[in-house]
Amino acid sequence: MLQVTDLHVTVEDKEILKGLTLTINAGEVHAIMGPNGAGKSTLSAVIAGKDGYEVTQGSITFEGKDVLEMEIEERAQAGLLLGFQYPVEIPGVKNIYLLKSALNAQRKARGLEDMPAPEFMKLVKEKLGFMKMDASFLQRAVNEGFSGGEKKRNEILQMLVLQPKLAMLDEIDSGLDIDAMKVVADGVNSLRAEERAILLVTHYQRLLDYIVPDKVHVLVDGRIVKTGDAELAKQLEANGYEGIEESAA
């Protein structure tokens, strides 16, 4: 599904990713872990198309298509969705409007008609319930005045409505208390499906107790230095990244 090959990325002339290679197949849940500054967030930002990141070498393909040639919105329409570590507040734009516009943009790109209003509301209502969110969220401006936990839940709500093929979640657990994390984890787990892949980017192992990954990659200094299964995350928790860095060196 997603193929990242020998990716080199610089930010303000500083090389952050230094030859990263990663393959994610449909049905898999991957976790990328690593110390601060290793380039975890850079990877998801480049895949989503954020400005300010220069790809100097390598490639990213999604279902065979060159992601780096796609507009930001085309990536999302194709099913590549990023959940932000710090969701942006969008004053004046109601959540319901964002959800409807985004869903219909995706449907349009796939040659489908707009979803009829009753069907759309039924879908949104179901997902809201799942995320333990009140209907009043829909009328509020996107993330405006939301608490940290509300913002993260709102990111997952968008995922549940938009049903991406690849959901990338950047530090989705940061700032969450245990109850909020369970709700978020339940939301993410409900996305697990044969035709879908999930990429978790996280600093801490804690999240992976709730969302058990199929593969864990350790990202250090711009490269994946080790790949394993969920056990690897537990080892990292116990021993830290230092041992890995040494063995990679």
Partner 1 sequence: MSDTQTFLDTLKTRSQQRGAEPTWIAARRQAGAARFEALGFPTRRDEEWKYTDVRAIAQGNFALADDANFSPAQAATVTLPIVGYRLTFVDGVFAPALSDLDALPQSVHVLPLSKALSENHEAVGGPLGRLTGVDFSSFAALNTAFMEEGAVVRIAPGTVVDKPIVLQFLSKASSTPVMSHPRILVEAGARSEATLIEHYCGDQDAANFTNVVGEFMLDRGAIFNHYKLQEAPLNDMHIASMHVEQSRDSRYTSYNLNLGGALVRNDLISDLNGEGAETHFYGLFFGQGRQHVDNHTKVNHNAPLTFSNENYKGILDDRAHGVFNGKVYVKRDSQKIEGFQSNQNLLLSDRAQIDAKPELEIYADDVKCSHGTTTGQLDEEAIYALRTRGIDEATARGLLTLAFAGEVLDKVALDEIAERVELAVAGKLPERFNLAGLVETAVALND
Residues that bind partner 1 (CB under 8 A): 48-51, 71-73, 75-77, 81-82, 84, 87-94, 96-98, 100-102, 104-106, 109, 114, 117-118, 120-122, 124-125, 128-129, 134-136, 138-139, 141-142, 158, 162
Report the nearest approach of partner 1 to the CB of residue 165 (Å). Answer: 12
Both tokens of 113, joined, read 């008609």
CA distances 143 to 94, 182, 244, Å, are 9, 20, 38
- Helices (DSSP H) in the chain: which residue ranges? 40-48, 72-78, 95-109, 117-130, 148-162, 178-191, 206-210, 230-239, 242-248
| Integer Cα distance of 10 and 58 in angstroms | 12
| Integer Cα distance of 54 and 11 in angstroms | 6
Report the nearest approach of partner 1 to the CB of residue 73 (Å). Answer: 5
Within 10 A of 66 (CB to CB), how many other CB atoms are there? 10
Nearer to partner 1, 1 or 218 (CB): 1
Nearer to partner 1, 84 or 241 (CB): 84
Report the nearest approach of partner 1 to the CB of residue 77 (Å). Answer: 5
Report the nearest approach of partner 1 to the CB of residue 187 (Å). Answer: 16
Report the nearest approach of partner 1 to the CB of residue 125 (Å). Answer: 4
Nearer to partner 1, 64 or 118 (CB): 118
Nearer to partner 1, 115 or 212 (CB): 115
Q: Do you know the residue count of the chain?
A: 249
